[in-house]
Structure 1
Amino acid sequence: MREKLSNYFSFVFEDELIDEIVQVGTYKKLRENELLVDLGDKMVGVPLLLEGAIKIVREDKKGDEILLYFLERGDTCASSFSSALSHRKCGIRAIAEKDSEIIFLPIAKLDEWLVKYKSWRNFVIDSFNIRLNEMMETIDTLAFMKMDERLYKYLMDRAQIMRETALTTTHQDIAYDLHTSRVVISRLLKQLENEGKIKLHRNKIEILEF
């Protein structure tokens, strides 16, 4: 675990902080589509993503989901962090988009590290800023983009997060993420294919303009 931490975080955290994370953190592997945290969960730790990608979604009163943002290697979940510090139940659902590796950091250390390590304080502030900007981008997308533009942006963002130009997914899964119907997604995907931006395969979408 220390090697993975050092590979990515040696230029982010002090060696002393990395040593503490190794001592108190809980290492966990997630399979693709495995649930990390769910709505209403009591947060006993905060995830630090070492490898993979995590999808963060919200759910409305009807049970419909909407995608908020993705986490990638080196990220933590600001929403989980906030819930942990305030001892509130989790307000998001986090699902592994691909096989992933995380370290759960205990709540008891979060406040202590904010005072003890400047690198940790900067990391947390940066994480909140990044997630806030992504949330604002999500709002702008919903308010100002047409569905075909939202769909193409979603595909490009996901390809970047997954570090793959061929996305394994279904039309229904995309519809869930974008809070629309499968019929609409299927029509718009075909439109994007006709425009030469993507190539459709069975349960896979290849991004041609990346």
Structure 2
Amino acid sequence: MSAASEELDRKQALLAAFPSLSAVDDPVWAGIVEEAGIVEAPQGMVMMCKGDPCNNLMLISDGCLRVHEVSEGGREIVLYRVNPGDLCVLSLTSLVDDVPYGAEAVNETPVTGLVISQSQFQTALAGSAGFRNFVLSTLARRLCDVMSLVEEIAFRRLDNRLACTLYQLFDKSDADTLKITHQDLAKELGTSREVMSRLLKEFEQSRGCIRLRRGAIELVSKDGLADYAKRDFC
């Protein structure tokens, strides 16, 4: 097998994280995949800064990219994460409208994936119905996510949001200990570390849901977290 064939096979394997795109069967998209690059980036690497021009679209096959916004006062809030099979909606809007990137994107883990250039993106958008449908579907889904985030920030109490976030994190990790700092949670929920520390102490002392450790949080009562978070909203 030639080196070119091996590289194409690897690209197809990476594309498997995107079932909808793997199923696209047209010559335009096939040509884009053949020309796509492969990127491997380490944990903690800043992939995009606010105001940067967006020159390509990354299709993440492994790892997680965190997209967050930082206020003038230094407060940070996580807007969303890009996991395998997802597209970064800010990259899409930048590529479609040729506008600067609107936030900061950082690798939470090592990331591997395919990357297509702006010109390749425009070619695929114009000539591949399957790719175009996937982009539109992603935009619609992310719009719903943003509306949910706005609703949470505007109408839900911070302590309820924290309880819901902790419940989801424990549920996802399937463990009784989370290695996470107060600052990490503050960024996740768009508040200060001081406010987060006060709320966590309340959860520990008054509600008995968790136990605080240095750089970690232990689960004491998952049912207690669920009840306080009003689980139907999680």
Q: Do the aligned residues in 1 keep the contact of 2:76 with 2:191 (CA within 8 Å)?
A: no
One-letter code of the match for 1:143?
Answer: A
The answer for the alignment partner of 1:5 in structure 2 is 14
- 1:164 equivalent to 2:176? Answer no
Q: Which runs of 5+ in 1 are unaligned?
A: none
Q: Which runs of 5+ in 2 are unaligned?
A: 1-9, 227-234
Matches within 5 A, 1:146-185: 146-157=157-168, 163-165=172-174, 166-185=177-196
One-letter code of the match for 1:67?
Answer: V
Q: Do the aligned residues in 2 keep the contact of 1:24 with 1:106 (CA within 8 Å)?
A: no
Distance 1:198 1:3, change over 3 A: farther
- State the TM-score, normalized to the length of structure 1: 0.83
One-letter code of the match for 2:216?
Answer: K
Distance 1:115 1:6, change over 3 A: same
The answer for the alignment partner of 1:50 in structure 2 is 61
The answer for the alignment partner of 2:214 in structure 1 is 202
1:205 and 1:18 map into 2 onto residues whose CA distance is 46
The answer for the alignment partner of 1:78 in structure 2 is 89
2:105 and 2:114 map into 1 onto residues whose CA distance is 14
The answer for the alignment partner of 2:229 in structure 1 is none
Distance 1:6 1:104, change over 3 A: closer
Q: Do the aligned residues in 1 keep the contact of 2:52 with 2:100 (CA within 8 Å)?
A: yes
1:158 and 1:102 map into 2 onto residues whose CA distance is 25
Over residues 162-190 of structure 1, what are the superposed CA-to-partner deviations in whole Å (9 max), with x where a residue is unaligned?
Answer: x5345432111221332222222123224
Number of residue pairs aligned between Structure 1 and Structure 2:
208
Give the drift of 1:22.
Answer: 3.8
Of 26, 29, 48, the match for 1:37: 48
Give the drift of 1:93.
Answer: 0.8
Distance 1:184 1:61, change over 3 A: closer
- Cα RMSD of the aligned pairs, angstroms, is 2.6
2:30 and 2:218 map into 1 onto residues whose CA distance is 41
Q: Do the aligned residues in 1 keep the contact of 2:67 with 2:80 (CA within 8 Å)?
A: yes
- State the TM-score, normalized to the length of structure 2: 0.76
2:196 and 2:190 map into 1 onto residues whose CA distance is 10
The answer for the alignment partner of 1:137 in structure 2 is 148
Secondary structure of the corresponding residue to residue 8 of structure 1: coil
2:163 and 2:105 map into 1 onto residues whose CA distance is 23
2:82 and 2:95 map into 1 onto residues whose CA distance is 18
* 137-146 or 163-172, larger mean C-alpha shift: 163-172
Secondary structure of the corresponding residue to residue 55 of structure 1: strand
1:134 and 1:56 map into 2 onto residues whose CA distance is 13
Give the drift of 1:65.
Answer: 2.1
- 1:113 equivalent to 2:124? Answer yes
One-letter code of the match for 1:98?
Answer: T
Give the drift of 1:202.
Answer: 2.9
Over residues 30-52 of structure 1, what are the superposed CA-to-partner deviations in whole Å (9 max), with x where a residue is unaligned?
Answer: 32222111111111101211112
